[in-house]
Chains A and B, each alone.
Chain A
Amino acid sequence: MFSKTSMLGGAAALLVLAAPAAAADAPTDPQIAHIAYTAGSLDVAAGKQALAHSKNPAVRSFAEIMVRDHNAVNEQALALVKKLKVTPQDNAISKSLTDGANATMQRLSKLKGAAYDRAYVDNEVAFHKAVNSALESTLIPNASNGELKSLLETGLTLFREHQAHAEQVAKELK
């Protein structure tokens, strides 16, 4: 029960973020960059864990795409913040995301076989759903730099693909 709660911790943090924020609470570009980068890194870590644990070809192929795509987007994000001379700023949302994802990885590390596959893929659906909702309602509208906004928009298109892919794999596993 506890572990299930912690699994959803990271996604819940993003859902809070996805709620329309008052202008005063709006994240700044350095915070937005940090949140987006953190979400990407956490999904890369989850994908690497899946590649170490899972033998299911559909799950492995999905995890490989997650690792490759999120690494690529994060590399681009790093190049952009360097170019813009922006230092990503840690914040409560990034921290909450990280705590939630770490708890999930710990919980998943104790699972095996089909149980692991289902838990990983279900979490990927929830995680991408939450990230996409946060991007759409908060991160993209509040990004003031045009290049950052454009990168987040491409990210949203990509992560919607990931969400649809995860939902497809989840359906196949049932």
Chain B
Amino acid sequence: MHLRRCALFAAGVGALLLAASPATAAPSTYTVVIDKMKFGPVPANLRKGDTIIWVNRDVLRHTATASDRSFDADLPAGAKARTVLKKSGAIPFICRYHPGMRGKLQVK
């Protein structure tokens, strides 16, 4: 009886460990800051399901818009917006109002 309980406990721990393994890691949230007409550094190791919070520190209205339109965050002066990454691959993005502002996400 005691042994059996131990085995059950071990199986439970195993399941927990599996859940915590990288393959099923919980999505992460990252911040990308826009300041003085530039997108700040984009995070490395992005994964599908992760969230990016765009923070516009300029007094100007900007957008963070994927070239393939898979996301289009409107960012009035001083605003924040949230993008959940729904696809993997290289995703170049621009500000629609100031297309010289650009960056690229690498999503696994």
Contact = CB atoms under 8 A, between A and B. Distances in A.
Interface residues of B, number: 13
A65 B37 contact: no
B97 interface: yes
A106 B38 CA distance: 36
A169 B60 CA distance: 21
Interface residues of A, number: 15
Contacts, number: 34
A3 interface: no
Interface class of chain B by DSSP: loop
Contact of A65 (B58, B97, B100, B101): B97
A160 B60 CA distance: 15
A73 B59 contact: yes
Contacts of B58: 154
Given A65-B97, A160-B100, A161-B98, A72 B60 contact: yes
5 contacts: A72-B77, A75-B59, A154-B36, A161-B101, A164-B100
Interface of B: 36-38, 58-61, 77, 97-101
